[in-house]
Amino acid sequence: AQTVTQSQPEMSVQEAETVTLSCTYDTSESDYYLFWYKQPPSRQMILVIRQEAYKQQNATENRFSVNFQKAAKSFSLKISDSQLGDAAMYFCAYRPSGGSYIPTFGRGTSLIVHP
């Protein structure tokens, strides 16, 4: 079974600084997809960024980028120029490309942004 590990229960960052959230996963599959979701205090789950395992290029969405290391099974999220609105719980998720296609989530990292 696939597992997703977020080793940092909580992280903090100063406004305008950069922070990196870690995620590792375990799978025997070669083709899969990885996601980061944001859950602000409103409780709504929001897709932040998505990475296809077959793509070597790291995904980027404005201030959010990933460092995808397939061999190391690592998928970290970098938030640049942190803003107060980035404060939230962040979940890393893995989803196989076929077969069970059931997503597996990490336990989440709570990001605190200090003004």
Partner 1 sequence: NAGVTQTPKFQVLKTGQSMTLQCAQDMNHEYMSWYRQDPGMGLRLIHYSVGAGITDQGEVPNGYNVSRSTTEDFPLRLLSAAPSQTSVYFCASSWDREGNSPLHFGNGTRLTVT
98/115 with CB nearer partner 1: 98
91 lies in the site for partner 1, by CB under 8 A: yes
Rounded to whole angstroms, how far apart are CA atoms 71 and 73? 5
Q: Which of 15, 17, 81, 101 binds partner 1 (CB under 8 A)?
A: 101
97 lies in the site for partner 1, by CB under 8 A: yes
105, 68, 102, 70: which is closest to 90 by C-alpha? Answer: 105
20/52 with CB nearer partner 1: 52
Q: DSSP states of 68-92 as a string?
A: EETTTTEEEEEE-S--GGG-EEEEE
The answer to whether 75 and 91 are in contact (CB under 8 A) is no
What mask of x and - would describe binding to partner 1 in positions 35 to 64, judged by CB under 8 A? x-x-----xxx-x--x-x------------
Point out which span in 15-23, 60-68, 77-85, 92-100 binds partner 1 (CB under 8 A).
92-100
